[in-house]
Chains A and B, each alone.
Chain A
Amino acid sequence: MRRIVFGAALAVGCTAACAAQAQDSAKEIQRYRQMIAEGSPAELFELEGEALWKKTQGPKNVSLEKCDLGRGPGVLKGAYARLPRYFKDADRVMDLETRLLYCMTTLQGRSREEATKRVFGTADRPSEMESLSAYIAAQSRGMKLDPGMSQPKEKESYALGRALYFHRAGSWDFSCASCHGEEGKRIRMQDLPVLYKPQAARPVVATWPAYRVSNSQFKTMQWRLNDCYRQMRTPEPNFGSETTVALIHFMTVTARGETYRGPGNKR
């Protein structure tokens, strides 16, 4: 009998206590994130990426050091913060990874097929693209995100990205906005940011690419979108496709002005 009474008292007290508990766990998650940020293994990927940037590869046996990421050949400082942007030589808008792929095929003379064979690595064997992204993104730390938005093709890409964000497709008829379209939604403890709103997009774009603690892997922005599409059960998008670049462009423009503080850490 006493146990039943106790149970009832618990149920009554829950509204206040549970709210406090939810707040506590949010605070604890915040503390945990702070701890992993202090000794982030993302730095190990930066070192690996630096070696890969300088490594001679491909039929032409050259490194990527002459790759123009938009600030001139080989200029890395602040390059990531200004991507995606329009590149005249390729006549299209490119994000970091698409641009790297372009340099691998043009400068190093590698085939697209060979260069994209393993763009998303595993914990045992990270991919070239992941380490390079870590290295290059780190060179924009502390700079304001300022993706290209002046060229007609850049405006086109932004508009396409925005349309795609709300475009429902696939066997489940999902769009990005199906999950990322309403405030206060989450999956388990993971908040779902409403990425078409600047205040939500800013902290997200400013910390990708990122190290994922739960699976010990470094994840890139292309991977993030690829995995979203997988969860939406659509056919797999091509690496560096117009679709993925447009979505990255849309989100980055939405987050414009935020100080880049990546490569970040994710749970």
Chain B
Amino acid sequence: MAAGPMKMRATLGQGFTDVRVLMTHPMETGQRKDSDGKLVPLHFIQNLTVKVNGKPVVEAQISQAVSRNPVFSFRLKGGAKGDKIEVSWLDNHGDTNSTEAAVA
């Protein structure tokens, strides 16, 4: 499955940077049944990495308990206008997607 779009916003505050990233993902729990009564196999984002100017700052391991089309929002210490923030994910099928944005 081709990974759907991602969208990120990074805004500078007083001594911190607020990052909010939206991603398209089915996040299947492995417990849902389709219309034929068959289990829909597990399909979820396992790892989420946030890099600031190429340096990893967040390494998250998440589970199927997170909703479909998740949104992640976090606050980073410091930051400056124009810093490049890159967010990427890896799911249990080995699919990945990433997006980057400059702090505004």
Cβ 8 A contact of A39, one of B4, B5, B6, B73: B73
Chain B residues within 8 Å of A48, by CB? 4-5
Taking a contact as CB atoms under 8 Å apart, the answer to whether B67 and A44 are in contact is: no
Contact partner of A216 among B5, B23, B68, B71, CB < 8 A? B68
Query: Which B residues touch A216, using CB under 8 A?
Result: 67-69
How far is B7's CA from A27's CA once the two chains are assembled, in angstroms? 29
Provide the bound-state CA to CA distance between A44 and B24, in Å.
Answer: 7
A41 to B5, Cβ gap below 8 A? no
Bound: A43/B69 CA distance, A:
11
CA distance A47 to B97 in the complex (A): 15
Contact of A44 with B7 at beta-carbon distance under 8 Å, contacts A39-B73, A216-B69 already known? yes
> Do B4 and A41 touch (CB < 8 A)?
no
Give Cα A43 to B22, complex, Å: 8
Interface residues on A, range: 10 to 19
Residue of B with least CB distance to A218: B69
**Would you call A8 an interface residue if the criterion is a C-beta within 8 Å of the partner chain's C-beta atoms?**
no
- Asked whether B20 is an interface residue with its Cβ less than 8 Å from the other chain, the reply is yes
Quick check: B7 and A43 within 8 Å, CB to CB?
Answer: yes
CB closest residue in chain A, given B26: A124
Interface residues of A in 70-88 (CB under 8 A from B): none
| Residues of A with C-beta under 8 A to B26 | 123-124
The closest CB in chain A to the CB of B35 belongs to A122
Whether B5 contacts A123 by the Cβ 8 Å rule is no
Q: In the bound complex, how far is the Cα of B71 from the Cα of A38, in angstroms?
A: 9
Name which residue of chain B comes closest to A216, CB basis.
B68
Nearest CB of B to A266, in Å? 14
Q: Closest CB of chain A to B96's CB: distance in Å?
A: 17
Complexed CA–CA distance, A48 and B3 (Å)? 11
A44 adjacent to B20 (CB under 8 Å): no
- Chain B proximity of A120: nearest CB distance (Å): 15
State A54–B29 Cα separation when bound (angstroms): 34
Q: Are B22 and A39 within 8 A (Cβ)?
A: yes
With A41-B69, A47-B5, A216-B68 given, name 11 new contacts (CB 8 A). Answer: A39-B20, A40-B22, A40-B71, A41-B22, A41-B71, A44-B4, A44-B6, A44-B24, A44-B69, A48-B5, A123-B26
Minimum-distance CB pairs A-B, first 6:
A39-B71, A41-B69, A47-B5, A216-B68, A44-B24, A43-B7
